[in-house]
Amino acid sequence: MKTSNVQIIFKSTLVALLLVVGFNSPVASAVTGNTSGSAWGGTSSLDGAYRGIGWIKFGGSTVGFGAATSGLTIPATDGNISGYGWSDNYGWLDFNGTAYRQGNSIKGSARFLSIVDGGWNGSVSLSGSNYGVIIAGTSLSGYAWSSELGWIDFSGVSISSGLTANISQDVSTTAPGGAVAITWNSSGASSCKVTKTVNGGASVLPFSWTSQPTPNTSGSATANPTVIGSHVFSIECTGADGVTKIGGSSPCLVPNVCSVTHVVSNAPTATLTQSSDTTTPGQAFDLTWRSSNATSCSMSKTVNGGASNYVTCYATDTLAHTDAGHLNGSCPPTPTVVGTHVFSFSCTGSAGPASGSVTHTVVSASTPTASLTASPASVASGGRSTLTWSSANVTSCTPGGPWSNSGTLSGSGLTDPLTSSTTFTLQCTSPSGTTPVQSATVTVGAPSSCSSGQAYSGGSCVGCSNGGCSGGGGSAASPLGSLSCNNGATDPISCSTFPIPAPTASLSAAPSDIDAGQTSKLTWSSTDANSCYPAGGEGIGFSTGGAASNSVGVTVSPTASATYGITCSGAGGSVSAYAPITVSVPKIDSLTATPSRVQQGNPSTIAWSASGVRSCVVGGPGLSSTSKTGSQPVTINSQSTFTITCQTHGAPITKSVTVRVVPVFNEF
């Protein structure tokens, strides 16, 4: 009951004092000094009563009564301190004539002017045997003590030294090797230094500097960063006193700017493809778009050279394709106007623009047509032929015989190995009717001629073993043709012949591991093969054009993990090869600190999880890990920031969490 009585007496006395005296004081016209920010009071005094001082303003703000007129003038060396603080609960806190600077300590006392009676004097002690207010560069720290009101924390108050610094860039993002102009200036500085870090690495000299210029208090230079990621340019200045600093490990308060972050990222790509380049009015076709390293994309079209319009894929959906969900996708337009329709896909990334386009022709509906051919029309037993089909003014085509057109209206593909003569057919349908049945017959029998390096023997072509012969191929009329037998023989059998070798094939994807939205290149090679086509048919996943090899590569953009294949054919048969591509979606799932506020010396558990990434580095005071997922308790001695940075197949991704220290108060 004693504590409750003290609280009642205190509150009653305080209300009476404030009603009598009020908050008005002789300092209402005071002006701000060289401080800003606020101190905080609200702890219990020795009798256990809560005083509730609240915030005490010391300038640097225009919000609330007293904000524009409060403030202290603290000298740069030993001397008296003048000015006032303002509390919405207790009014003016007077420092004039009673407070002074001694070294880096503030000594003496201050007094709340509103407390003038009732046995209280409103005095606040600024230093004692085990407490005090300390000057740390441009900040105050520590505590003052009032036996009537309790502790007052000064860590939120800053001192202006007259030292300023600013650094800026003309562009925030470039492609590798692009130019960025960095400009810096300062005032009240005796010297400055400019440094750079790349992706959180060690601080280094920027530009092409071999040493830090002096005094370097202002200037500009151009950088051409090439490494993908974040390049942070920073300025740190020292004041005329040789002690005060801004930037670096020292505070850099607004409006000063002591660092700028420049991002280097790959230039964007944009591709647009169509399933058919010709349709009749109202007939649908597939329009597919792909992008990489893009932040926004848009799609438009022109009709017969007219104005640009949005692409209409559905009756109720006019797609502008400007959100992240439309960076990759497809839709089925149904153009009705006869003529030329040019579809354009334009993207913008942090490193610049990219675009792609296709031209689509809408023709008048007329009599449907179809065609089917086979080449070659005659093969040896086990040989294969290439079927080529096309159509116009139709909506679907149905194959007949041992082959499939995979539902396409035009294209080409290899037959299966043939052991007997076979007829292939095709018939197409349109709203106005069907086409006549088209047919192509492949005859299986003895070849009429052989390829280079092969002789004609027994109704088939045979090859020369181990360089047994060289030169042109033979035929039924001339078995050796222009072949020259190395052993001088005059017939193909004596020329050390052997059966025509079976073809070989290889297919590779580079890279084989990509992130969603990125591309890979397929390359292939073969031996003893005349042609190679995608395993599912030409145009299924990608196109080879029938080439037996391709070292330049065909670009593919899978949206999910996929396996691509080719089938290569020659006189000796056919063979398939495959290459898988793994598509990942990199992300940092979580980074947490539990608890996020602790007392000094207590632990906090840091937990993290990432998926779809190549590798990760987790770091912070007392923590270092390369695991993609994990947790670890860490002892916290001061405010600590923990960061996870993960490498992807593109730019790295990062996330941070901060653990703050709660002060511990001792009662006197």
Query: 340-385 pLDDT, tens per residue?
Result: 889 888 888 877 788 889 898 887 767 788 889 988 777 776 777 8
Q: How many CB atoms lie within 10 A of CB 427?
A: 20
Residue 619, beta-bridge partner list: 624, 643
Q: Residue 462's pLDDT is what?
A: 64
- Indicate if the pLDDT at residue 496 is higher than 80: no
Beta-carbon contacts of 491 under 8 Å, excluding residues fewer than 6 positions away, are: 479, 480
Confidence of residue 447 (pLDDT cuts 50, 70, 90): low
Q: Chain centroid to CA 287: how far? A: 26
Q: Which residue has the higher pLDDT, 319 or 38?
A: 38
Question: Which range has the worst mean pLDDT, 234-238, 400-404, 632-636?
Answer: 400-404
Indicate the pairing of strand 513-515 with strand 573-584.
parallel
Kindly state the average pLDDT of the residues 324-335.
75
Confidence of residue 451 (pLDDT cuts 50, 70, 90): low
Question: Which range has the worst mean pLDDT, 60-64, 102-106, 291-295, 413-417?
Answer: 60-64
326: left (phi over 0), alpha (psi -120 to 50) or beta: alpha
Distance, in Å, from the CA atom of 103 to the CA atom of 391, rounded to the nearest integer, reads 94
Kindly state the average pLDDT of the residues 23-27.
44
Kindly state the average pLDDT of the residues 102-111.
93
Burial annotation 45-54 (CB, 10 A radius, 16+ → b, else e): beeebebebe
Distance, in Å, from the CA atom of 562 to the CA atom of 558, rounded to the nearest integer, reads 7
- Indicate if the pLDDT at residue 446 is higher than 70: no
Confidence of residue 28 (pLDDT cuts 50, 70, 90): very low
In terms of Cβ atoms closer than 10 Å to its own Cβ (0-12, 13-18, 19+), residue 254 is exposed
Confidence of residue 569 (pLDDT cuts 50, 70, 90): confident
For residue 597, the one-letter residue type is R
Is residue 203 helix, strand or coil? coil
Q: Which residue has the higher pLDDT, 465 or 306?
A: 306
Rounded to the nearest 5°, which phi and psi values hold at 421? -60, 135
Nearest to 487, CA basis, from 497, 477, 500: 497
The CB-side HSE value for 609 (13 A sphere, CA atoms) comes to: 3
Q: Residue 644's pLDDT is what?
A: 94
Encode 154-202 in three state secondary structure.
CCCEEECCCCEEEEEECCCEECCCCCEEEEEEEECEEEEEEEEEECCCC
What percentage of the chain carries pLDDT values higher than 90? Answer: 27
Confidence of residue 141 (pLDDT cuts 50, 70, 90): very high
Confidence of residue 413 (pLDDT cuts 50, 70, 90): confident
- For 41, 615, 626, 627, 658, the CA distances from 636, given in Å and listed in that order, are 25, 26, 21, 21, 11
- Indicate if the pLDDT at residue 65 is higher than 60: no
Q: Residue 3's pLDDT is what?
A: 36
pTM: 0.34
Q: Which residue has the higher pLDDT, 43 or 25?
A: 43
Q: Residue 268's pLDDT is what?
A: 85
- Indicate if the pLDDT at residue 433 is higher than 60: yes
Q: For tokens 């007129």, what's the residue? A: 69
Q: How many CB atoms lie within 10 A of CB 277?
A: 11
Encode 509-539 in three state secondary structure.
EECCEEECCCCEEEEEEEECCCEEEECCCCC
Residue pair 455/492 in contact (Cβ under 8 Å)? The answer is: yes
- Indicate if the pLDDT at residue 600 is higher than 60: yes
Beta-carbon contacts of 564 under 8 Å, excluding residues fewer than 6 positions away, are: 507, 509, 522, 534, 535, 541, 542, 556, 578, 579, 580, 581
- Indicate if the pLDDT at residue 460 is higher than 80: no
Residue pair 226/133 in contact (Cβ under 8 Å)? The answer is: no
Q: Residue 588's pLDDT is what?
A: 92
- Indicate if the pLDDT at residue 30 is higher than 50: no
Distance, in Å, from the CA atom of 329 to the CA atom of 319, rounded to the nearest integer, reads 11
Indicate the pairing of strand 653-662 with strand 597-599.
parallel
Confidence of residue 231 (pLDDT cuts 50, 70, 90): very high
DSSP 463: E
Question: Which range has the worst mean pLDDT, 84-98, 171-185, 340-354, 514-528?
Answer: 340-354
> For residue 503, what are its two tokens?
């073809």
First to last CA, the chain: 21
Q: How many CB atoms lie within 10 A of CB 455?
A: 26
Q: For tokens 């070989």, what's the residue? A: 504
Average pLDDT over the chain, rounded to an integer: 80
Distance, in Å, from the CA atom of 519 to the CA atom of 557, rounded to the nearest integer, reads 5
Residue pair 613/628 in contact (Cβ under 8 Å)? The answer is: yes
- For 142, 358, 451, 486, 651, the CA distances from 466, given in Å and listed in that order, are 92, 50, 17, 10, 52
Kindly state the average pLDDT of the residues 553-581.
85
Confidence of residue 425 (pLDDT cuts 50, 70, 90): very high
Distance, in Å, from the CA atom of 527 to the CA atom of 574, rounded to the nearest integer, reads 11
Domains of the chain: 2-159 (no CATH), 164-264 (2.60.40), 269-362 (2.60.40.10), 369-444 (2.60.40), 454-499 (no CATH), 504-584 (2.60.40.10), 587-662 (2.60.40.2470)
Q: Residue 307's pLDDT is what?
A: 80
- Indicate if the pLDDT at residue 320 is higher than 70: no
- For 380, 475, 476, 484, the CA distances from 472, given in Å and listed in that order, are 19, 10, 14, 9
- Indicate if the pLDDT at residue 621 is higher than 90: yes
Residue range 176-206, pLDDT digits in tens: 888 999 999 998 888 999 999 999 999 999 9
Kindly state the average pLDDT of the residues 85-108.
91
- Indicate if the pLDDT at residue 22 is higher than 90: no
Q: Residue 212's pLDDT is what?
A: 92
Q: Which residue has the higher pLDDT, 89 or 325?
A: 89
Nearest to 331, CA basis, from 273, 401, 398: 273
Q: Residue 476's pLDDT is what?
A: 61
Distance, in Å, from the CA atom of 252 to the CA atom of 260, rounded to the nearest integer, reads 13
